[in-house]
Structure formats: C-alpha cells, structure tokens
Chains A and B, each alone.
Chain A
Amino acid sequence: MPAVRSTTLLAVFIVALLVAPLLLPEFYITLLDYIGLYAIVALGLVVLTGVGGLTSFGQAAFVGLGAYSSAYLTTVHGVSPWLTLPAGLLVTAVVAISLGLVTLRLSGHFLPLGTIAWGISLYYLFGNLAGLGGHTGLTGIPPLTLFDLEVKTGREFFYLIWAVLLLALLATRNLLDSREGRAIRALRGGSVMAEAMGVHTARSKIVIFTLAALYASTSGWLYAHLQRFVNPTPFSLTQGIEYLFMAVIGGVAHVWGAIVGAGLISILKQWLQDWLPKLLGQSGNFEIIVFGVLMIFVLQRARDGVWPMIARHFPQPPTRAQLREAPPLARRERPAAGAVLLEVKDACKRFGGLVANDRMNFQVRAGEVMALIGPNGAGKSTMFNGISGVDPLTSGSVIFRGERVESLPARDIARLGMSRTFQHVRLLPGMSVLENVAIGAHLRGRKGFVAAACRADRDEEDRLLFEAARQIERCGLSEQMHEPAGSLPLGKQRIVEIARALAADPCLLLLDEPAAGLRYLEKQALGDLLRRLRDEGIGILLVEHDMDFVMGLADRVVVMEFGQKLAAGLPEDIQRNPAVVEAYLGGVE
C-alpha cells in the first residue's frame, strides 16, 4: 500500500536527521541549521502562496519580530526564552492580523505591496530604535536551556530546529487535509464559489496569513538563540524576497517544497558566493543576479518548482483519501412538500444604466422543479446571483424559508439551506472529485484549524468524506471519485457541482445550466436524478437552455425577457404561448 511506503520514507528521513549530526562536519551542520530555519519560513509561504493564492515579501520582517522580541525581552528584562516565544508569537499575530484586515478587502496584489512597505519600515525601525541597539543590534542573548541542558552548539540546535520544522510540516499537512484545509485550498478557485459553499473566505485568508507569520516568527526566535545576537540585516526586504524565491523554486504547492527550496537556495548561494566574485573579479552579492534570472525561468517554464520533479521518483503519496464507513451527518429539518421555500418579490438589479432584472416575482415550493428560461442576456444568471447572495439585488426582496435574505452574504444564505451550481463550472481542477464535493459539506462540520492540525478531527472528517462519497454515488460518479476534478469532461464536472451542492443537505437547489455539455443518455440520467430529488421534497430552481430537457422535467416554467417576467405557467402552455415563441425566434415585422 502506498500510504505505508510514504510513512516508511518519512521514517527514513527522520532517522537520517537523527544520525546526520553524528557524521557530518561542523560546516554542514551549520548549513543544515540555516536550511531548517529558512524552511520553516518557506513553509508558511507554501500555505500562503501555493495553497491560498496570496503572497508576502515581508516574511523576513516577521522573522525579525520573533527574533527581536526574544532578544529584547531576554537581554533587557531578563525574561526566560521559553516565555519570549509566546510573547513574540503574540506580537507577530497582532501585526499580521491588523495588516491582513487592512488589505483583505482590496484586490489580491495589495497584500504583497503592503508587505513590501511594511518590510521596509520595520527594517528601518529595527535599525533606528535605540532600545533595540540600532544598526549594531543586541548582543548577549542567553542560550536555550531545556531542564538542565543548555542548547548551545550548532549540533544541539540542529535537533531543535529540525524537530520544530518537522512538527510544523506535519501540522501543516494535517491542516491542509481537513475541512478547514479544503476551505483554504478553495481560495484559489476564487472566493465566489467558496463563499457560496459557506466558507468565510476573509477569515480563512487572515488565518493563513497569520499562520505564515507565526512560522516566520518561530524561526526568528530560534535564530536569535542560535546566533546569540541580532541586528537588522537578516530581516531586510531582500531576505524577505529570498524566502519567497525558496518557496517558489522548491515547489510552492507542496509542503516538502519548502525544504527543497530552502536547501537549494542556501547551497546555491554558498557556492555562488564562492565562485562569482572570482569569476567577475569584483566582490559583491552577485548571486542575486542568478537567483533573479532563475526565478523568472522557473515562473515561465516550471511554475510548480522543483519538488514535483523529485516527487516523481518516489512512490506516490496516497491519492485516494481514506474512506471509512461512518455514521451519517445530521440532516436539517425539511419543509413539507408544497410549502413555499423561496419567494422573490419585485426583484430589481441594475448595472449602471442597464436594468438586468426588472420587478421579478415568483415562488419556488418544496418538491417541485421550477425552470427559469429565456433568450441570452435576459437576466437569468443575474437573477440566480441575486437570490444566492453572490451579487445582491439593487431592490426588492428575497424570502427564503420565511427569512429575508436579500442583504445576507452568500455564506449565510447557504447556511439556511440553499445550495447552487455555477454556469461556468467552479471546481478546483487539481483536487479529487471527492474533496471537491466535500467542500459542499463545509457547513456540516465544526472542527477548526487547531483540531485539524493535531488530527483531532478524524471522526468528523470520516463522516464528511463518507457523506461526500454518498452524494457522488447518488449522482453516478463513483468511478471517478478519486480522479482530479479537472480531468473529467465538462458535462461530468457539472454533475460534480450538483453533488457538491447536495453535500450541503439543501432544501433548495439552484442549478445554472446543468445539462449543458451532456450527452443524451447523461441528460436522461440527470433528469432521473433531479426527479428523485424532487420526490424527496427538495425544491429545484433551474436555468437551462435545452428545451427538451426543461419541458420534460419542469413542473412550472417562468420565461424572462429583457430582465422581466414574460410568461409563467405549465410547460405545455409555455410552448404554445405566442409571446414566448416571439421572444425566442424574434418578432416579425
């Protein structure tokens, strides 16, 4: 079994780490110490950049916060290093959260720009505050003591650094393989989908930004006590940029990429610093020319970095999540068949001067399929976005299960039991079908980040995955369950979206063109599925262009044109309605 083999590999790696200090000369131990310190920082960037799609050039400043906090408190106030660690982490968290809150509402590139500016300010602050020793820094930082043992030499520190790194690595891996981890991974697919599945994306973003900052701060604490003195130089923006280079070159989407990147850059730097000045006949840090060019090359030719090339030679980590039989998740109370689920009243949506929805009124009941049809540009998708909170209405009201929801964010509407699919499929192509569907069940779990990092969430995780698997089976995709969602044909991907929506245990399902791209038999299967759902009492609101499909399935039809309701009624009446024929085929003069 591949899972066993990957555990064996990990064990081999740990044994190698244990014996390395006994065999290697001092120089290599020091190098490995630094690689470990850098890798801890780079690991934070893997989560932030590779997984979450955000980035920071200011990680060196967070390292500095950790280092200076400890240096200052231990030398000036004589605090024990074991207390300065949490103190440094606290300072770091406060700064990271504030910076995150300030930039998160803006487009993604303002966060990195903010980190550049903040990295520079902090660097100058370190260098100019008299209390922090100015540019000469602080000296005489005490070593770490563990019981009566002093952790002092590079060899002793080696074990501490790599133990911390391994712990952080495993915690990160655990976190990413959990309910909150899926939410973090969903950030890359855009916040619209994640929010519609109930994920509080702003919160997820702040959490990973803070997590990356905390890793950096920990690395800084270790650094301060290894070096026993600090000055501003290693916390400059240049170093911050180098951390990002490590993560990207190592493989920004993989936790192991952090170690590979930190190792490669550190070794390359050593080597270039020896050779380049000789070659160029001048002294200076010319290695940055090579790093810059290498980085451009990696981004152009191998954006996944080096790790995937190495991983190819190892047994593949388990691609299939462990599915265990688990007790079903609690289900929400369902309204009786025929009860009004959704009521749209006088809904209007304007984009500047354009009226996309104009006084729309209709209802959807539990246990019926209601189709919304109309020519291109009639405003159907806009209506969907208004109902589901993705793009709120300009005026009018939406009442869902007795509650006004038109001004609620999408995630709160999802919580009430409305779930949707998208016209342009929004799946995470690299994630398995199972994991994609499990995102739909996000709101049915409770366990948070800490529980996930320590694996205290396994019972719930089993139940979530088992539920996702059940929905996939129900939609007829069992065979593709463990394949990456992006490898499926588009029609099947639409079905995955339906399974994901069903995993939320909805009472109302909004389907935007579910039959597009399906073949005849697949359409029939989809029709059968939707009929079964209807019989279970779910209300379905459907936008669809395939008229055969709509007319054979819908209980009632609403036709839109120019944002307005043109007609409403039973399918057979709609097909004979001259105004509808006119709208579709165009008027005759």
Chain B
Amino acid sequence: MDLQIALLLGQDGLTNGAIYALLALALVLVFAVTRVIFIPQGEFVAFGALTLASLQAGKLPGTVWLLLALGVLIGVLEGSRAVRAGQLRRLPLIVLLNVGVPLLLAGTLIAVSPATLPLPVQVLLALMLVVPLGPMIYRLAYQPVAEASVLVLLIVSVAVHVALTGLGLLFFGAEGSRTPPFTEVSFAVGDALLQGQTVLVIVASLGLIIALYLFFERTIYGKALRATAMNRTGARLMGISGTLAGMLSFTLAALIGVLSGILISPITTIYYDSGFLIGLKGFVGAIIGGLASYPVAAAGAALVGLLESYSSFWASAFKEVIVFTLIIPVLLWRSLKTTHVEEQ
C-alpha cells in the first residue's frame, strides 16, 4: 500500500466513520432516554436516501403512504382515547395533525412535480416525509410497552426493523439508487484527490454533532431529554412525561438517520436493506461507548469506519466479518471493566 492509497482509504474511512458516529450518537440517545435499542435506525438511513432518490426521479415515494397509514392509525387510537375520556374538543386537532398534515403533504407531492424542484427543497421534502415516521413508530410500537424490560423492547425493535425492511422493498423495489452529488468540487492534496462530497459529509456531520451538543446543553428540551435519561421519576415529577421524551428522542434519531442517508447516497448505492448494516456499524461504535458515553461512541464509530475501509483493501471478502467480530474483544474489554452484574 502506498501513501496515496492509504490516504484514499483514510478518506473513505473517515467519511463512513462520520456517518457511523452520527448514528452511534442517535443510538446512545435513544437508549439512554427510552431504554430502546433502536435497531431500525438504519432503515431511516435507507428510507431517507431512497425517498430523496424517488423525488429526484419524479416518482411518488412509497414513504408517503406509510406516513398516511401510520397517521390514520394514530388518529384512530388517540381519537378513541379522547372520546372515551370525554374530551371531544381535542378531536379536530388530533385528526388535523395525524391525518391532515400527511394528506396535505401527499397532495403537494402529487400537484407539483418534485423532480423539477431545487435540491434543498427536495431534501426538505424528504425530511418531512421520513422524519415524522420516527415519533409515529414510537407512539405505535414502543409506547404501549414503554415500561417493559429492555429485552422486550429489543425484540420490538427487531420486529420494527423486519417490518420496515419489507416495506422498503415494497416502496423502493430491489434496485439500488444513488443520488447525484451535492457538489462536484474536488481538491488536490499532494498526489491525492479530495472529493468535495467527502468534505461535505465530514463537515455536515461535525456540524450536526455541534448542533446536537448545543441542543442538549443550551435548550430546555435538550436538558429535559438528558434529565429523563438520568432520572425517569425525577423527570416525570417535573412534568416531562416518558411519552414526550420518547417521541422527542425518536424524532432526533430519525432526523439523524435521514440526514445520514441523504449525505451518503451520492457516495454509495443504497438498497432498501442497506440501512441495516450501516446502522449496525453505528451500533458497534455505540457498544464501544457502552451505550452510555457519547464521545466514546462517536470515536468508536469513526474507528469502525477506518477499520472497515482498510480491511476492504487487505481482505475485502472479510470486511464485514472483521468489523462485526470487533465487537467480541470490545465486549470482553467492557466486561472486564464492569465490576458487578447490574440488576435491570
């Protein structure tokens, strides 16, 4: 391997590592706040990328139907609850929020041809279509079992992942998509060529990480999420309900997932099921951080990206084997660090 290849691989590794780091942060966040191990994180990556690709191809993305279907389900659930509690005044708002907004979005997409819209608007549309699925899935799949054990929540996560993968195939077909790059610029660094898209991914990831940091440190909602992660009962007594915190953390996780998908879709071809492996690599990072430490998780994820990139050069057939076997020494190391077995 000469220096040029090493640099190229490093560049690749860091780009993917930045994405894994974002996903790792989202996974730690969701676990800390809700105790959910968010396996479907990767599906948001794929859905984000493929929704954008569909919009650019002038097709109506299938996610809009999912949004509408989940909206109707939640509308029925919340509506019947409001009726039973005798709070009929809440009905119009419930219907408007859960059914009206998705309908409006679907109508807009049918009325205008999204392929002709400028890129930022397309990205915004993709975000509006996929991000709300996060809190909606929380409401439907997780909230009814919010008090269950981590194990039950994990099995629910796997079930959600399985269902979303199937839906992904239904919406986007088995073919992969790649969106055009956001920028064609490239820089020469010595002998190597630095792609503008690569720089964009790293800068955008760093920007997002900083934005997340500011959200958690400076805003009361960010603090409320941290408070829930630290002390659930304490947070409830302040009026921060578990449902609110859950919806909020799932919104953030979905947002991070979709943005990651949009960022990498010009670099890699994304298939309906690509998200799972991408998300799991974020997981390896999150596990390095013990599902608890944000900086260690992000650093671990960046390491996963580099390891993957270099192992694809040395032993490309065993790339995935190497990345996922890494988890065994990591677990061993964490296990030796743990002094006693935690109860629940």
Contact = CB atoms under 8 A, between A and B. Distances in A.
- Chain B interface category by residue count: 35 or more
A291 B344 CA distance: 28
Interface stretch (A258-266, A277-285, A453-461): A277-285
Given A121-B324, A300-B144, A110 B331 contact: yes
Interface string A163-205: 0000000000000000000000000001110000000001000
B343 A124 contact: no
Contacts of B156: 295-296, 299
B280 A120 contact: yes
A292 interface: yes
A518 interface: no
Given A114-B328, A286-B169, A109 B154 contact: yes
Nearest to A192: B343
Contacts of A296: 140-141, 156, 159-160, 163
Given A117-B280, A192-B343, A108 B151 contact: yes
B13 to A, nearest CB: 19
A99 B332 CA distance: 9
B318 A128 contact: yes
A109 B341 contact: no
Interface in B324-344: 324-325, 327-328, 331-332, 334-336, 338, 341-344
B151 A303 contact: no
Contacts of A109: 37, 150-151, 154
Interface in B305-339: 317-318, 320-321, 324-325, 327-328, 331-332, 334-336, 338
A114 B326 CA distance: 10
Contacts of A17: none
A191 B328 contact: no
Contacts of B287: 110, 113
Contacts of B318: 124-125, 128
A114 B162 contact: no
A105 B338 contact: yes
A22 interface: no
B276 to A, nearest CB: 8
Interface in B262-306: 277, 280, 283-284, 287
B197 interface: no
Given A121-B321, A191-B343, A248-B155, A292 B161 contact: yes
A41 interface: no
Contact of A106 (B152, B325, B328, B331): B331
A238 B39 CA distance: 13
Contacts of B148: 299
Which of B145, B155, B160, B173 gathers the greatest number of chain A CB atoms within 10 Å? Answer: B155
A57 interface: yes
Contacts of A128: 317-318, 321
A528 to B, nearest CB: 35
B181 interface: no
A568 B308 CA distance: 66
Nearest to B342: A107
B28 interface: no
A55 B318 CA distance: 27
A50 to B, nearest CB: 11
A102 B342 CA distance: 15
A54 B297 CA distance: 25
A125 B317 CA distance: 9
Contact of B151 (A55, A202, A285): A55
A293 interface: yes
B170 A102 contact: no
A479 to B, nearest CB: 33
B151 A289 contact: no
Contact of B324 (A49, A106, A120): A120
A361 interface: no
B206 interface: no
A404 B220 CA distance: 52
Interface in A106-148: 106-110, 112-114, 116-118, 120-121, 124-125, 128
B285 to A, nearest CB: 12
Contacts of A299: 145, 148, 152, 155-156, 159
B162 A300 contact: no
A392 B289 CA distance: 27
B39 to A, nearest CB: 8
A284 B321 contact: no
A151 interface: no
B154 to A, nearest CB: 6
Interface string B69-81: 0000000000000
Contact of A282 (B140, B173, B334): B173
B334 A106 contact: yes
B173 A288 contact: no
A116 B283 CA distance: 11
A118 B158 contact: no
B201 to A, nearest CB: 24
Contacts of A293: 159, 163
Contacts of A288: 162-163, 165-166
A106 B338 contact: yes
Interface in A73-124: 99, 102-110, 112-114, 116-118, 120-121, 124
A105 B340 CA distance: 7
A292 B151 contact: no
B103 interface: no
Contacts of B37: 109, 113
A435 to B, nearest CB: 22
21 contacts: A49-B151, A54-B151, A104-B341, A106-B335, A107-B341, A107-B342, A112-B154, A116-B280, A117-B324, A117-B325, A118-B327, A124-B317, A241-B162, A245-B159, A282-B170, A284-B169, A288-B163, A289-B166, A295-B155, A299-B145, A299-B148
Sorted nearest first, the 7 A-B pairs with minimum C-beta distance are A292-B163, A289-B166, A295-B159, A292-B162, A128-B317, A117-B327, A288-B166
Interface of A: 49, 53-55, 57, 99, 102-110, 112-114, 116-118, 120-121, 124-125, 128, 190-192, 202, 238, 241, 244-245, 248, 280, 282, 284-289, 291-293, 295-296, 299-300, 303
